[in-house]
Amino acid sequence: MIEAVILDWAGTTVDYGSFSPIYAFEKTFRTYGITPTIEEIREPMGMLKIDHIRTMLKMDRLTALWREKYKREPNKTDVLELYKVFQDEVFQVLGEYSTLKPQVVETVQILRERKIKIGSTTGYTNEMMEIVTKKAADQGYKVDYWVTPDMTNAKGRPYPYMIFRNLEYMGISSVRNVVKIGDTVSDIAEGKNAGVTTIGVIDGSSIMGMKQADFESLPENEKKQKRQAVRKIYQAAGADYTIENFGQLPDLLA
């Protein structure tokens, strides 16, 4: 019996394609004279944002660019300064990029009718989530509980602690009765480390990285190819299942 689903936010339930962090990370690094590629930005998606910056600075190409510009290796102070800039940048776009993805409200209503509780985890901070959850609530989407790395001693994904906090709060009897749903490899790793069933969302995911209008304008054969490419990434990460969109979730859980 499924007692709870634990949902991610950007790229999973809101922000089709997960673009708000992309814009913020790109502007942040450009402020320091470094231009990351979209692929470099997206690779650590789902992590605590300061860990995301640390991971990017360890990438060979970005480390080399930093070394060339500043004549030294990036250090802890650089991470903190970049993170301060990122926070300023992301707060400017969070509200704009908190639109719900298709079928989220309808699907959550079906789950609630089945007495399934709705939890959530994120790579955002508490302060960021105050903005995102308010925007989501205005559109008809509320969760029973949300947890950020701020609430788990800065141990975000792939650590399992945010999931465990959800389960404790909601009084869930066993990890065997829980499903984690997300749109990044970090989401899948978080779920696996917590011992719960994992599901990767394909359409509108960070892995696919496309805006809704752009994806929907593709010919059906190209949509199929892109979905299959994302599905393979989830499978390689160990996901138990994949769904193309939220409308497929109730049948899968049943």
| Closest of 143, 147, 148, 145 to residue 107, by C-alpha | 143
Which position among 8, 15, 51, 203 bears the catalytic label? 8
Q: Is 8 assigned a catalytic role?
A: yes
CA-CA distance, 41 to 112, in Å (whole number)?
35
* Backbone φ/ψ region at 38: left (φ over 0), alpha (ψ -120 to 50), beta: alpha
CA-CA distance, 132 to 36, in Å (whole number)?
26
Which position among 15, 49, 101, 135 bears the catalytic label? 49
Strand segments, DSSP code E, in the chain are: 4-7, 117-121, 145-147, 178-182, 197-201, 241-243
State the average pLDDT over residues 12-34.
95
Q: Is 223 assigned a catalytic role?
A: no
User: In this model, does residue 228 exceed pLDDT 90?
Assistant: yes
User: In this model, does residue 117 exceed pLDDT 90?
Assistant: yes
User: In this model, does residue 46 exceed pLDDT 90?
Assistant: no
- Please tell me the predicted confidence (pLDDT) of residue 245: 96
pLDDT in tens, 154-166: 999 999 999 999 9
CA-CA distance, 114 to 96, in Å (whole number)?
32
Q: Where are the alpha helices (DSSP H) in the chain?
A: 20-31, 38-42, 49-57, 60-70, 76-93, 104-113, 126-138, 161-170, 185-194, 212-216, 220-237, 249-253
Q: Output the six-digit token pair for 150.
A: 């701020």
Q: Output the six-digit token pair for 168.
A: 């404790």
Residue 121 near residue 147 (C-beta atoms within 8 A): yes
Domains of the chain: 4-18+100-253 (3.40.50.1000), 20-93 (1.10.150.240)
Helices (H) and strands (E) counted in the chain, each on its own, are: 12, 6
pLDDT in tens, 5-15: 999 999 999 99
Percent of the chain with pLDDT over 70: 100
Q: Which residues are annotated as a binding site for Mg(2+)?
A: 8, 10, 183
Average pLDDT over all residues of the chain = 96
